[in-house]
Amino acid sequence: MTVEITVDGEPVAGTDGQTVAAVLLASGRLSWRTTRSGAPRGVFCGIGACFDCLLTVNGVPDVRACLRRAADGDEIRTQSRADA
């Protein structure tokens, strides 16, 4: 079964059961957040221990993409320090 999410308004397909991070990585996105210095961040630990993969899911900020399973219709927004 597939799921479709939107990332900054762009549709992205994934497989049911994948985390949001897995869907993003499979779509070719290696980073989706930047640090204060502008350095790109994506998945680092992959187990919810760090904060590198934070993004906004359905209006809820600071969701760890490596822990959140993607659900059909999820609206994902990437975050930057300006959002904080």
Q: Over the stretch 8-60, which tens digit does the pLDDT of each residue have?
A: 999 999 999 999 999 999 999 999 998 888 889 999 999 999 999 999 999 99
pTM confidence score: 0.90
Q: Over the stretch 48-81, which tens digit does the pLDDT of each residue have?
A: 999 999 999 999 999 999 999 999 999 999 987 6
Q: For residues 70 and 84, give the distance between their C-alpha atoms in angstroms, rounded to a whole number.
A: 23
Task: Identify the pLDDT of residue 67.
Answer: 98
- Residues forming beta bridges with residue 13, ordered by sequence position: 4
Instruction: Let me know how long the chain is.
Output: 84
